[in-house]
Structure 1
Amino acid sequence: MINSAVLVLNRYYQPVHVTSVKRAFSLLYQGVAKAIDQQYRLYEFADWAALSATNDCITTINRTIRVPRVLVLSAYDHLPRGRVRFSRLNIYARDADTCQYCGKNLPRSELNLDHVMPRTQGGKTTWENVVCSCVPCNLKKGGRTPEQADMRLLKKPVRPRWTPLFRGASRKVTYQEWLPFLHLADASYWNVELLDE
C-alpha cells in the first residue's frame, strides 16, 4: 500500500507526476501539497487525517489515515519536459502494439523490433528507424529495406511527443479518482452544468 500510486497535479490541476503513497504523505505533511477528494475539495494534512478512513488507508501508531489518490502542489506551475526514453516499451506504446508492416495488433510477446533501414546497410537505432513488427513480417523483410522486400510501412516512424506519464495513464487509469484529471475532454463533457432553456 505504501508504494501504490498517487497522481500529482501542478497548481493548475494538470498532471505532472505519479508518486508513491509514502512520498505523497510527505508532501501533504510538509504543506507542499493538498489532497483532493472525489468532490474536488482540498485538504491540508490535519484535515485529511481527520476524515474517516476507507478501504485504502495507512495505519500509524495512533490513527488510521485515508490514502490520497490525487494531490495538488501548492506552488508548482510547470509541466514536465522530459524526453521520451528510447526503449522497447515506448516503441511498442508509440506503435500501439501493432506491426507496422501488416497492421496486426498483437500481444507484446508476439512482437519484436525492426530497423527500417537495416543496420547492415548503415541504419541507426533511433526513433526514426525502429518500428514494431510481428515475427513473420520481420523474417520476410530480413536484412532489406521495406522497398527491397516489397513491403510498405503503415506510417513513418517518428520520435513521440508525449511523456510516459500521460501516455501510460491514458491507456490504463490506475484509480477512478484520476479520470477527471487525465481525460479533461471527457470530464468537461460529463461535468458541464446543463441548463433548462
Structure 2
Amino acid sequence: MNDQLTKSTVLVLNRNWQAIGVKTPMEAFSMIASGAATALDIETGGHIRPVTWNEWLTLPVRDGDNVIGTVKGPVRVPAVLVLAKFDKVPKKRPKFGVRGIWERDGGTCQYTGRKLRPHEGNIDHIVPLSRGGPTSWENCVLADKRVNSRKGSKLPEEAGLKLLRRPAVPRELPVTLLIKNTHRVREWEMFLPE
C-alpha cells in the first residue's frame, strides 16, 4: 500500500471550523466520497473554498501539492477537511507518560523551578518505587537529572527538597490544543493555536 496514504497528514475540522483531529489521506478520501466531510481548497493567498468529492477529483494539481496516482491520473490529497455534521470540540486528557508529565509540568523541574532542556530532565517518583510509590500522575514529576540522582530512593524531605506544587492528574483540554503539526503542513497553520 502507498505509504503516502497512511500518514496522518489531513487536519479535520468540525462544522464550526475548529480543529478536532487528524486523519490519513485514505480516511479523508472515504469521508469526502461518502459526504461526511468536504475538503478545503486552500490557495496560496489564503482564499479558502469548501469542495465536494466530484469537484475535488477535477481540481488541477499545483506545484508542491501532495498527490496520489490513480487510474484516471493524479489526485490532490486534501490538507484540511470540514465535517458535515459534528460541531463539538472533544476534550481529552494528555496521555500519561514522559511527554504528558513534561507538558503538565511545563518543562520545569518541580524541585528547583528551572526550565529544562529535554536532555536535562527525567521523571522522578516522589515516593520512590523501592518504597512502594506508584507510577501515577500524582506521584511523578519532572526533575533535573542531577537533582533526581541526588534524591535517589529518598523522600523529597529526606533529601532536603521541596516540591513547587503537588502533582495532579491534568484536566481535560480541547483536543485542538493537543494536535501537533508534526508533518509541518502549511495549510494547517491557520486552524491550530500557536
The two structures share one fold, judged by TM-score above 0.5: yes
Tell me the CA shift for residue 152 of structure 1.
2.8
Identity of aligned residues (%): 37
CA gap of 1:144–1:168, structure 2 versus 1, over 3 A, is farther
> 1:137 aligns to what SS in structure 2?
helix
Q: Does the CA contact (< 8 Å) of 1:8 and 1:71 recur in 2? A: yes
Distance 1:17 1:29 in 2: 19
2:67 aligned residue (57, 60, 66) = 57
Superposed counterparts of 1:27-66, under 5 Å: 27-38=31-42, 39-54=47-62, 55=64, 56-66=66-76
Q: Are 2:175 and 1:167 equivalent residues in the alignment?
A: no
- With normalisation by structure 1, the TM-score equals 0.80
Distance 2:48 2:176 in 1: 22
- Alignment RMSD, CA only? 2.4
Long gaps (5+) in structure 2: none
- With normalisation by structure 2, the TM-score equals 0.81
Superposed counterparts of 1:16-165, under 5 Å: 16-38=20-42, 39-54=47-62, 55=64, 56-102=66-112, 103-107=114-118, 109-161=119-171, 162=173
Higher normalized contact order (CA 8 Å, seq sep 6+, divided by chain length): 2
Q: Does the CA contact (< 8 Å) of 2:89 and 2:174 recur in 1? A: no
Q: Does the CA contact (< 8 Å) of 1:111 and 1:133 recur in 2? A: yes
Distance 1:164 1:88 in 2: 19
What count of residue pairs does the alignment treat as equivalent?
182
Tell me the CA shift for residue 85 of structure 1.
2.4
Structure with bigger strand share is 2
Residue type of the alignment partner of 1:157: P
Tell me the CA shift for residue 15 of structure 1.
1.4
Q: Give the stretch that moved more between structures: 148-157 or 40-49.
A: 148-157
